[in-house]
């Protein structure tokens, strides 16, 4: 049975208040078409999870979709500066920043993949992050008696992952760096794949040893050519510098709505066609 659906239908699987894991890393292979559709559907109070985010988290914060962000790093890279909207939202108290150490996001997702409530994390033994946050707890290792830090499991309700290709069952192949995407596909309750192209199952079968996310873990497949833009998609396109610069120039919500509208046609261009 095909899991191919429209971007609108796939994103409607998200409920207000859900924990959303976002694939990619900083300016690379972020599922931006899905992020923009989340904003169009005015989802609220989302709890975002990502090791290192940039445009995705910034845009969702700008448009008031976010309650908390669990991440180690939220910023553009040097050239584009800080994530202004995320910063403002946290400073004004509208969004809570749950600062992690990147690796602790990984460990909290690893805990989710094993359905255990927490994961011991080596290394996290100093600093105020331990004191200020309730998702880190230092306990005595019952075996050795030495202190060990635990990080609470994070079970995403929905993971959005953008890939270069998958079939209509959701068997997906990530070309190039996979970042934390394979891990989040195992941690999340539902996985939504957006993809540059949908390829025949017969072709994917030939590449079965290169499939990163098997279809049985996937709830929905959405064809979104250029779906990671303006972030990069390895071997397909680079970071869209012009688009990011134009985003940076837009300060208020009204201006950002026109930025989002400029992507609307592109985001929906995949329809529900297979190939």
Partner 1 sequence: MVNQQYRASDMMTCAIANLLNDGETVFHGVSSHLPMIAMMLAKRLHAPNLVHLNIPGGVNPSSVTQASYSSAGADLFSGAESYFPLEEVFDLSMRGRLDVAFLSGIQFDLHGNINASVVGSYQKPKVRLPGGAGSAVLIPTAKKAIIWRTKHDKRTFVENVDFITTRGNLWKIVTPLCIFQYKAGKLHLDRIQPTSSLEEVKANTGFELSYDEIKYTNAPTEKELSLLKKIDPFDYRSIEF
Beta carbon nearer to partner 1, 42 or 91: 91
Residue 27 near partner 1 by CB under 8 A: yes
Q: How far apart are CA 233 and CA 176, in angstroms?
A: 9
User: How would you class 197 by CB atoms within 10 Å of its CB: exposed for 0-12, middle for 13-18, buried for 19 or more?
Assistant: middle
| Cα separations in angstroms, 204 against 155, 201, 215, 262 | 29, 5, 11, 33
Determine contact, residues 198/156, Cβ cutoff 8 Å: no
Convert residues 197-236 into a mask of x (bound to partner 1 by CB under 8 A) and - (unbound). -----------------------------------x-xx-
Q: How far apart are CA 43 and CA 65, in angstroms?
A: 6
Beta carbon nearer to partner 1, 79 or 208: 79
Residue 71 near partner 1 by CB under 8 A: yes
Beta carbon nearer to partner 1, 205 or 251: 251
Min separation Cβ 239 and partner 1, Å = 6
Q: How many CA atoms lie within 13 A of 149 on its CB side?
A: 21
| Residue bearing tokens 């005595």 | 140
Stretch near partner 1 under the rule CB under 8 A, chosen from 37-45, 74-82, 154-162, 247-255: 74-82
Dihedral pair phi/psi, residue 99, rounded to 5°: -75, 130
Among 124, 159, 218, 260, indicate the residue that binds partner 1 (CB under 8 A).
Answer: 124
Q: How far apart are CA 118 and CA 149, in angstroms?
A: 10
Min separation Cβ 220 and partner 1, Å = 25
Among 19, 25, 194, 195, indicate the residue that binds partner 1 (CB under 8 A).
Answer: 25
Beta carbon nearer to partner 1, 42 or 207: 207
Convert residues 181-200 into a mask of x (bound to partner 1 by CB under 8 A) and - (unbound). --x-----------------
Q: How far apart are CA 161 and CA 228, in angstroms?
A: 10
149 in helix, strand or coil?
Answer: strand
DSSP secondary structure string, 199-227?
--HHHHHHTGGG-SB-GGG-SEEEE-TTT
Convert residues 125-164 into a mask of x (bound to partner 1 by CB under 8 A) and - (unbound). xxxxx--x--------------------------------
User: Residues in the site for partner 1, rule: CB under 8 A?
Assistant: 25-28, 51-52, 71-75, 77-79, 82-83, 86-87, 90-91, 93, 97, 99-104, 106, 121-129, 132, 176-180, 183, 232, 234-235, 238-239, 241
């Amino acid at each position: 049975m095909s899991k191919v659906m429209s971007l609108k239908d796939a994103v409607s699987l998200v409920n207000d208040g859900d924990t959303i894991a976002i694939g990619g890393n900083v300016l690379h292979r972020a599922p931006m078409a899905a992020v923009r559709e989340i904003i169009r559907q005015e989802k609220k109070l989302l709890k975002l999870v990502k090791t290192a985010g940039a445009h995705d988290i910034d845009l969702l914060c700008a448009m008031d979709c976010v309650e908390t962000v669990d991440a180690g790093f939220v910023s553009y890279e040097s050239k584009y500066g800080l994530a202004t909207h995320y910063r403002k939202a946290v400073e004004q108290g509208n969004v809570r920043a749950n600062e992690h150490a990147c690796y602790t996001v990984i460990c909290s997702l690893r805990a989710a993949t094993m359905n255990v409530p927490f994961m011991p994390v080596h290394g996290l033994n100093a600093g105020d992050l331990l004191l200020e946050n309730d998702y880190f707890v230092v306990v005595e290792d019952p075996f050795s008696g030495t202190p060990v830090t635990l990080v609470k499991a994070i079970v995403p309700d929905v993971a959005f992952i953008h890939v270069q290709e998958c079939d209509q069952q959701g068997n997906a192949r990530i070309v190039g760096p996979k970042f934390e995407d394979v891990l989040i596909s195992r941690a999340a309750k539902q996985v939504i794949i957006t993809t540059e192209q949908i390829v025949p199952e017969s072709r994917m079968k030939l590449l079965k040893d290169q499939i990163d996310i098997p279809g049985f873990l996937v709830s929905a497949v959405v064809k979104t050519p250029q779906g990671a833009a303006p972030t990069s998609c390895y071997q397909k396109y680079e970071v869209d510098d012009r688009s990011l610069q134009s985003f940076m120039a837009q300060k208020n919500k009204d201006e950002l709505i026109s930025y989002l509208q400029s992507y609307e046609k592109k985001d929906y261009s995949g329809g529900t066609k297979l190939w």
